[in-house]
Each structure stands twice: as structure tokens, then as C-alpha cells.
Structure 1
Amino acid sequence: MNDPTGRSLAAEVREEGAPVADDDPKVVSTDEGNPFIRYVGSDVLLSLQYPRTDAPAEPAFLIMTQVMELLFKLAHIEALRTRDQLESSDVTGALWTLRRLGQVSATLTGSWDVLGSLSPTEYAEFREQLGSGTGFQSFMYRQMEFLLGNKNAKLAEAHRADERIHRDLVRTLTEPSLYDAALRLLWRRGLPVPRSCVERDWSEPYEEQDAVVDAWHVVYVEKDKYGDLYQLAEALMSLAADLGQWRYTHLLTVERLLGAKAGTGGTTGANWLRRVADHRFFPELWMVRTKL
């Protein structure tokens, strides 16, 4: 726009000391609304927080818990992609996806930093609003754990009241896990993986086997021959360590907030989490280290 003297409005603004750059971002909007909001769904996403008290720390707890749920979903997506890549013997693709999955896992662990900043008295101001609610009831976390190989049919039963969620959990329970796919890959490559690891009832919890330790041992001692499988072993080990770190940090955060109090939802709190933290994903990859 020009004034009667022919000088542009932009020139006027610059003379007044507020520079306007030609490459300043433009706010784009259409009759259908803001395209960023439409793509991200941020208007819906940011409307899902409903604190039940005026406690200053409750928004931090609520939002970070929701962030974790989203990260569980992303971890499940990436783990599913990795499993399918291993099933099709695409080790290169699986390694690339595991790289991203590892970053998701590390971000999950970092999420505890915010929750760990709450004091016990701050948490106590709104804790009773959880009622019988507990992170143990997160179906997205359960989906992620089942897919990674920590299966327990009883834990799916907690979601039977929701037909869709229960159906999805049972499907994941009865399909090969990411670790099952890795062992099936080793078997196809001629390594001494027992036949029972190739075809079995996938809904049953995986039981570690010395023969599988031996198969991974071959991969490590003959890494020049099995270079891609060696890289896969180390990528899986990094993921397992990250998941263990997440669980251990969960334990420390709960102890920091609750001490030895019972958890919500009927759990024993820190004592129960301590037992969970002892579990190791991909157990033979931990065991093989003793033989190397």
C-alpha cells in the first residue's frame, strides 16, 4: 500500500525502526482454516487437558502423562515397522527404523525429568483425583510391551470392557513379537536357533534358551561373516537398555514422590515397579555377554 506521496507502508515502518524483512513468514489461512492446525490437529490435541483441581503441578503431571501416551504410540508404530522389516529379511531397513525407535525410547526416559520435578506435597494436592487410575492401565504401553516381546495374556484381560482395545491387544499378543522376528531371521540365515523359536504359540511368554545364546554367540564371534546381524544385535541391545532405563527412572520417580506408599490401582507402588525393572527385553542378548 502507498500513501499519497508514493512512499510504501513498508518504507514508513523501516524508517520508524521496526524493520520488515521480505522473507518474514506469512500467516496462511484458507476457507478451510489454518493448514498447520488441520494437519496436526492441535486445536483438538490442546483441548484434551482437564485438570480436576487448582493444584499448580497438576497440568505438568497430566500433560506429561499424555505426552508419554503419544510416545508409546509412536514406539509401537516403529516397533511394528521393524518387526515387519525383519520378517521380510530387510535388515538394512530394520536398522534404520531401530535408530528412530531408540530416539523415541530415549525421549520417553527424558519425560520423567518433568514429573520428577514435582515435590511429594505438590503431587499429594491432586493425587486422589486419579482414584483407581494407574499407568498400569495404559493400553498403549501394553501394546508396545507385547510387540517388543514381554507378553502376558492376563494383562490384556484388564481391557476386556473395551471391545476394540481388547481386540487389538489380543491380536498383538497372538502375533510374533519384534524379538521373535529377529530369531526367525537368524534361523533363516542358518544359525542354530531351535525350531521352537520359529513356530510356536506366540501368545505364550518367551522363555530364554541356551541354544539362542549360542546362536547370538556365533553372530558376535563371526561378526565379519554376519556383519548385519551383529549390527542388529547391538541395535536391539541398545533398545533393551533404553527400555530398562525408562523403567528404572519410573521406579526412582515414584519413590521420590511416594516413598513406600501403595500405588494407585491396587499396585504395591515402588515394590511392584522394582520387580518390573528387573525384567530384560531380548534376554539372550544380555546372557551372551557372559560368554564373550
Structure 2
Amino acid sequence: MTYDPSKDGAQMDFRQRMSYGDYLQIDQILSAQHPLSVAHDEMLFIIQHQTSELWMKLALYEVNGARQMIAQDRTSEALKMLSRVARIFEQLNSAWDVLRTMTPSEYTQFRDDLGQSSGFQSWQYRLIEYAVGNRNLAMLKPHEHRPDLLELLEAELARPSLYDEVLRRLSRTGLNVPEAVLQRDLRQAWQFDEDVLKVWAEVYRDPSKYWEAYEVAEKLVDFEDYFRRWRFNHVTTVERVIGFKRGTGGTAGITYLRRMLEVELFPELWRVRTEL
């Protein structure tokens, strides 16, 4: 016999109740795709980027939550959030696999319709980079046409980054983080610091003594590991689809993206491995 869920108590009438679609605003989400061409693959391109922006929104939410917890010396709560950020970037990595099913010929059918829009103009991606410490002030310019976004990015630059908060927490626990690091200009991108490397080397040489710092360090490495993979997958996908053409936003395309692969978010945490 055909199964009727209502006979087991399932609600079936939503004329006076909030439904799944109401709660998630599904109609609004599913009506946000507006291809500018008749090319079949443009829908894939739009949805892949829109879903990536949703995952980035969650990544920002979790990074900000972790940063707040660390500032309040509630590190154990931050660890769960940092683990989630790494898993989010694992999902973002998987998205490239879907986009890579689009061939160069298929992308060519609608690429011109994109105009000068480009992924490097993503303000959420910029916020993520700023939040974790890669504070390139030159990248404010693509957002100057939106005062609200510029204000948001400037506010982020005025805050300690996630890495800054971690180092401040290390200092509060008694580790010898240099005062110059603790008082540094927050608007500037993080630069490798030999004395910070020595602090992390002390932590890694005796994990049981500095377990909290050790665990936080490994969560940061987890995140940057997935973040690097995301950048690498981006490069590979772009090269597979457009080769060495310039990006739609005017960047050097593959050359620009490969330069981004050289950026280290937490350089001391990678170089400390050589010290042990």
C-alpha cells in the first residue's frame, strides 16, 4: 500500500504554518539565477559561484566566532569552529570538481557576457583573507564603488586578525611573544617573524606542556592546508578552462593565481617543522 506520512503524525498542511521552504527562503534563493546567455553551462557557472559565496559566508561566521572565543580565553570553543572552517574549505574544494566538467568550448559560449566581473572581486573572499591576516591594502580598490563594502573591509582592517588573537592568547598564557608583535600595525599584512617562530618551536618541542597552543596551531595548519588546496584547485580549473588568457577582471589570469599560491597565512607554523 502507498505510505501516507500523515497517518504517523507528519504535518501536511502548511497554510497556517511555517514550511521548510519558508524557513530557508528557498524561493528567493532559487530565483537568484539569471543567465545572460543561452549557453547551457552558464547555469552551472552561476550556481557554483553562488554556493561558494554561501560557504564563504559560513566560513566568515565561524572565523569571527573563533576569533571572539580566543579573545575571551575560551579556546576550547574556538577549536570546534576552526575545525568547521577547514571542513567548509573541503566543500569549496569539491565544488571545483563540478566546475571542471565544463570544457573551454562551453565556457567560450558565455564568457563575454560576464563583462569585467571576476572572482577576485568577491568581497567575502577578501574579508576571509583580511580576517586571517593576509591584509593586502591594494585589494580595497575593487570595492571602492560600494561605500558599504569599503566600510566593512576597513572595519576588519582595524581589528586584530585571527592569527593576532592567537598570538595574544599565547602571550596571556606566559609564552614570550614579542611586544612589537602584540602592538603591530593591524592594517598591515602579517610578515614572518623569527621570534614568533621561536615561540612556536617551544610549543612544538613540548606539546604536553603547551597543549592548548599546540592544538590551536594544528587547527590553523588544517585550515591553511585546505585553503591552499582551494587556491591550487582554482589555478588548475582556470588553466583547464581558459589556459593562459587574461582574467575577465583584467588580471593576468593563471600568472596572477599562481602568485597567490605563494602567500602564507601562518608562515611560522609551516617553518617550525624544519626547526624540530
TM-score normalised to structure 2 length: 0.96
- Which residue of the other structure, out of 249, 257, 260, is the alignment partner of 1:265? 249
Query: Which residues of structure 2 form unaligned runs of 5+?
Result: none
Query: Which residues of structure 1 form unaligned runs of 5+?
Result: 1-13
Q: Identify the residue that residue 41 of structure 2 maps to in structure 1.
A: 57
Q: Secondary structure at the match of 1:265?
A: coil
Matches of 2:255 and 2:119, distance apart in 1:
15
**Cα deviations by residue, 1:155-203 (Å, 9 ceiling, x for unpaired):** 1122111111110010011211101111111111111211122122211
Letter in 2 for 1:218: E
- Which residue of the other structure, out of 40, 51, 63, is the alignment partner of 1:67? 51
- Which residue of the other structure, out of 109, 113, 127, is the alignment partner of 2:97? 113
Letter in 2 for 1:250: H
Instruction: State whether residues 118 and 248 of structure 2, in contact with CA within 8 Å, keep that contact through their aligned partners in structure 1.
Output: yes
Alpha-carbon distance change, 260 to 89 in structure 1, aligned in 2, over 3 angstroms: same
Instruction: State whether residues 115 and 248 of structure 2, in contact with CA within 8 Å, keep that contact through their aligned partners in structure 1.
Output: yes
Q: Identify the residue that residue 162 of structure 1 maps to in structure 2.
A: 146
1:79 corresponds to 2:63: yes
Q: Identify the range of structure 1 (243-252 vs 158-167) with the bigger mean alpha-carbon deviation.
A: 158-167
- Which residue of the other structure, out of 196, 206, 224, is the alignment partner of 1:222? 206
- Structure 1 segment 231-250 matched on structure 2, within 5 A: 231-250=215-234
1:29 corresponds to 2:10: no
Sequence identity of aligned pairs in percent? 36
Q: Paired residues, what number?
A: 275
- 1:30: Cα distance to partner? 3.0
Q: Identify the residue that residue 274 of structure 1 maps to in structure 2.
A: 258
- Which residue of the other structure, out of 195, 198, 202, is the alignment partner of 2:182? 198
Whichever of the two has the greater Rg, that structure is 1
Select the structure with the greater relative contact order (CA < 8 A; seq sep ≥ 6).
2
Letter in 2 for 1:27: M
**Cα deviations by residue, 1:216-275 (Å, 9 ceiling, x for unpaired):** 011111111111111111111010111000000000000000111111111000011000
Matches of 2:272 and 2:260, distance apart in 1:
22
Alpha-carbon distance change, 48 to 214 in structure 1, aligned in 2, over 3 angstroms: same
Q: Identify the residue that residue 25 of structure 2 maps to in structure 1.
A: 41
TM-score normalised to structure 1 length: 0.91
C-alpha RMSD over aligned residues:
1.3
Letter in 1 for 2:237: T
Matches of 1:41 and 1:274, distance apart in 2:
38
Instruction: State whether residues 190 and 265 of structure 2, in contact with CA within 8 Å, keep that contact through their aligned partners in structure 1.
Output: no
Matches of 2:167 and 2:200, distance apart in 1:
9
Matches of 1:105 and 1:250, distance apart in 2:
12
Q: Secondary structure at the match of 1:44?
A: helix
Alpha-carbon distance change, 217 to 44 in structure 1, aligned in 2, over 3 angstroms: same
Q: Secondary structure at the match of 1:192?
A: coil
Matches of 1:242 and 1:273, distance apart in 2:
16
Question: Which runs of at least 4 in structure 1 moved beyond 6 Å after TM superposition?
Answer: none
